[in-house]
Amino acid sequence: MDKASPSSENKQLATFLQSLRTQIYHAKTREDLRHVLHTVRSFGRPLCYNNTSYWLGFSMGILLGLLAILYAYWYPSSVSAPWLIGAGGLTSVIFAVLIYMRRSKVSDLSDALFKQDVYLDNNWQSVPYHGKKLAAQLSRQFSEFKRGNHSREIEWLVKGTYQGTDHQFDYHAYHFHYVDQRQVTSTIRDSKGNVRVTTRTVYDHFHRYGLYLPFRFARNIAITNSWFGGFFSSSYKPASVEFNRKFKVSASDELSAAKFLKPAVVVEIEDLGKALSGLNLEFNAASELCISFEQNICQWQRQHGLDEPDAFLQEIEGDQKLATLQKTLERIHTLMRHSDNNF
Amino acid sequence: MNSSLVFLIVFGVVILAVILIYNGIISRANAAQRAWANVITQERQKNKIIPHLQTITDQYQQFESGVQEKIAALRSALGGLSSEKMDTAKLAEVESATRNLVQGMHIAVENYPELKANELFGKLMREIAEQQENIGAAIRIFNQNVEAFNNGIEMFPHSLVNSLLNKKSTLHTFNDSEAEAGFDYKPNF
């Protein structure tokens, strides 16, 4: 059998990758993802471009540059040598970028496929949103999003569903990026002893993560570890010294806070605070909960890729449920269980 | 600096530290007392479920015979609790009576499977489970507060202030002796 030329091999691979992209994009079940990986296995060769011609171009560029340097060394007055050095350098940079782009094509597809798997395993759906508009809308619902005097933006958002033993609820998980702007004044003394005062603007970037969801059993209560402003007029302290050391409770009225903060709820929040730093729980007037913290609990990392389909298939077969997220959802469910009425 | 002024400053700092330690001991003692009262409040929540249990026993005559005694035992144990006096032995009695009642209810379900389908019974079991979780949590908070209080009177220089001024004794944490009996290991403190 005749061996296909590198260019036709690459063309065939590009077409195959394009069809894979479409399949991954439309994958709705784990079976669909499995099918993608079986297709990769049946492709019959590794998903790698034949970059011989690009490497040749890269080497030629380097060689041209080196020869031009030598030429410039022997003939320092030469006008064309610097141009040749530049042309050689540019050629090798262009080919290096092309090689890198080809390599990342496969890696990007592996990322996309793994992301789909993570979304499926965690019961997530992508939702359309505009980062700045959504942050503005959320700042009207929760004080948490009033942080940042310069800019506020939701950088990532997903919608999920949690099914517990007693309650089922939908939630949104987000990544909130906000920027504080401040003026810094410094005094500089020059060599002649003159004092000059300069003012510059500094931008501090912060990232917080969290979930927001309907929580119909509590309203107008804020339990905050990362305190940044007033929430409600009344304050309340439950009996736990440890809880009071870590959290401040404010509510529209003390009684509703006392009713909500049953001992089981208090210890659940204590434990939640141990797992998540900078934890805030805000129940707004519309009976919605925003639980926010400093760690990104919706992070994932793949171990394998499409270049090793068997290992990748095994990885995809595994459960990609994000442990800290699941534990947090479980704890929210416990809060619901203790706040509802059994009779 | 004048030596008498230095003496006055040092004396002032010592007095301030003593006041802070004294008040700290009082506030931790009150926190332990409040946590105890909280445990008792949670235990008394069980009174809420007794009328529902009566309804069930009225519906199932056979169920009544075994469980009725246990309800009476729980009621009597609950009557012995006081939010003023930290009596962990009485609390253990209530916990034991609750355990017996729940056990009795489980046995009743095994003997009378139709109970499982009873909506009120299901709600009751859920309520009892949640109450037990709340009592467990209230006991955990009480033990945490007792630990903070005991540390606050036993550590130096708090121990000095306590022996001279507060004169408080260490409090006992709540131990479930029935649960402890299940372990071979016994801590040596």
Distance of CA A164 to the CA centre of its chain: 26
CA dihedral B130, B135, B137, B141 (to 10 degrees): 160
Bond preceding residue A263 cis, omega within 30 of 0: no
Across the interface, whether the CB atoms of B133 and A239 are under 8 A apart is answered: no
B101 is a domain residue = yes
DSSP assignment of B41-109, as one string? HHHHGGGGTHHHHHHHHHH-HHHHHHHHHHHHHHHHHHHT--SSS--HHHHHHHHHHHHHHHHHHHHHH
**Domain contains B131:** yes
Domain with residue B82: its CATH number is: 1.20.1440
Average pLDDT over residues B154-169: 87
In whole angstroms, give the CA distance from residue A155 to residue A214: 22
Task: Name the E strands within A86-241.
Answer: 124-126, 151-163, 168-189, 195-214, 221-224, 234-236
Phi, psi of A93 (to 5 degrees): -65, -45
pLDDT tens per residue across span B3-60: 888 999 999 999 999 999 999 999 899 888 888 888 888 888 777 777 777 677 666 6
Please tell me the distance from the alpha carbon of residue A68 to that of residue B116, in angstroms, as a whole number.
Answer: 90
> Residue B94 falls within a domain, yes or no?
yes
CA–CA separation, B69 vs B104, rounded Å?
10
Residue B54 falls within a domain, yes or no? Answer: yes
Q: What pLDDT shows up at residue B181?
A: 66
Give yes or no for a contact between A212 and A288, defined as CB atoms under 8 angstroms apart.
yes
Give the gap in angstroms from C-alpha A266 to the nearest C-alpha of chain B: 8
Residues of B in contact with A240 (CB under 8 A): 35, 141, 144-145
The total of structural domains in chain B comes to 1
Is B42 within 8 Å of A266 when comparing Cβ atoms? Answer: no
Mean pLDDT of chain A: 89
* Closest in B28, B123, B141 to A267, CB measured: B141
Give dist(CA A218, CA A253) in Å, integer.
12
How far CA A105 is from CA of A110, A213, A313, B109, B110, in Å, comes to: 9, 37, 19, 61, 62
What is d(CA A7, CA A9) in angstroms, rounded to the nearest whole number? 5
Cα–Cα–Cα angle for A3, A5, A11, nearest 5°? 120
State phi, psi for A205 to the nearest 5 degrees: -100, 135
* Residue B66: pLDDT over 80: no
pLDDT on residue A228: 64
Which is more confident, B83 or A211?
A: A211
Q: Which two tokens stand for residue A175?
A: 């990544």
Residue B184 lies inside a defined structural domain of this protein: no
Q: Do A338 and B133 touch (CB under 8 A)?
A: yes
HSE, side-chain direction, 13 A CA sphere, residue A204: 9
User: ipTM, 2 decimals?
Assistant: 0.71
Contact check, Cβ <8 Å, B38/A342 = no
Residues in chain A: 343
The CA-based angle A100-A102-A104, given to 5 degrees, is 70
Record: contact A263-B38, CB cut-off 8 A: yes
How far apart, in whole angstroms, are the C-alpha atoms of residue B132 and residue B49? 12
pLDDT tens digits, one per residue of A46-75: 778 888 888 999 999 999 999 989 888 888
Please name the residues in contact with A87: beta carbons below 8 A apart, sequence gap of 6 or more. A61, A64, A65, A68
Give the separation between CA A42 and CA A36, rounded to whole angstroms: 10
Stretches where chain A sits below pLDDT 70 are 1-4, 227-230, 342-343
Asked if residue B186 has pLDDT above 80, the reply is: no
Please indicate, yes or no, if residue B181 is contained in any of the structural domains: no
Whether B178 has a pLDDT exceeding 70, the answer reads: no
Using CB atoms and an 8 Å cut-off, which of residues 127-146 of chain B contact chain A? Answer: 127, 130, 133-138, 140-142, 144-145
Average pLDDT, chain B: 80
Q: What is the token pair recorded at B119?
A: 């909506």
Query: Helices marked H in A27-78 — which ranges?
Result: 30-42, 52-74
Q: Are B135 and B39 in contact (CB under 8 A)?
A: yes
Residue A1, pLDDT score: 43
Query: Closest approach of chain B CAs to the CA of A265, in angstroms?
Result: 8
- Name the residue ranges covered by the structural domains of chain A: 6-121, 125-180+207-339
In a domain, B125, yes or no: yes
pLDDT on residue A210: 96
CA distance A322 to A329: 11
Q: Does A77 touch chain B (CB under 8 A)?
A: no
